[in-house]
Amino acid sequence: MAINIAYIQDIASGTVTGGTGVALRARGCSTARTGVGVYTITIMPNNLAGPDLAAAESMSKVNSVGATPLTADLVHTSNTVKTVTLRNSAGAAADGDFSFRLGRLD
């Protein structure tokens, strides 16, 4: 019987303050707030895992942190830039704290 095991290579991760987009902690990337509820994560070019993370190879997770429940969408803007949009229960973009993890499925 063949065994099919998936491995996830960590690329970047962090915790972000929603109002400013400043990463409280970040590894392998930088973050920025580009508008209300919209944040970019840019993978560093000297990242040991490589600066590129194609959508087809990606395993990504975003968690909203805080008392107000927000939904998070992650879009692969490019192989080096990922865009996170947070939305409130009415569907409007809203600032909030969040954590993220980007990985490559091997």
CA distance 64 to 2: 38
Residue 4 in any domain: the answer is: no
Looking at residue 41, its pLDDT comes to 96
Residue 16 in any domain: the answer is: yes
pLDDT tens-place string over residues 63-74: 998 888 899 999
The secondary element (H helix, E strand) that includes residue 7 is: none
Residue 32 in any domain: the answer is: yes
Mean pLDDT, rounded, for 70-91: 95
Mean pLDDT, rounded, for 81-86: 96
Residue 2 in any domain: the answer is: no
Q: Which domain holds residue 70?
A: 9-105
pLDDT band at 84 (very low <50, low <70, confident <90, very high): very high
pLDDT tens-place string over residues 30-48: 999 999 999 999 999 998 8
Q: Which tokens sit at 95?
A: 């600032």
Residue 11, pLDDT > 80, answer yes
Looking at residue 72, its pLDDT comes to 95
Give the number of domains in the chain. Answer: 1
Looking at residue 66, its pLDDT comes to 80
Q: Which residues pair with 54 in a beta bridge?
A: none
